[in-house]
Structure 1
């Protein structure tokens, strides 16, 4: 299960964060984010971290 999600731009500015996620799926609805490369950090309950780059 996910504990927290952070969404950053390539300059490492925090755009979005969500804590206490109850399931393995979540929707990030940020209409002001367009045509960017984003860095998604997913923190899992077992204290591991996954980092992915996405083009949005």
Structure 2
């Protein structure tokens, strides 16, 4: 197994976890100002682009 194949296996195993173990992409943590992780990341990317 090469490095790329290993990365695919790891990614697939993480993305296919069953719910309670699966990462909740919709959660709204207070540390992120009640934005989803994806929304917060997009905001950071926009701020970096504007700077």
TM-score by length of 1: 0.18
TM-score by length of 2: 0.18
Choose between structure 1 and 2 for higher RCO, CA contacts under 8 A separated by at least 6 residues.
1
Greater share of residues in helix: 2
Greater share of residues in strand: 1
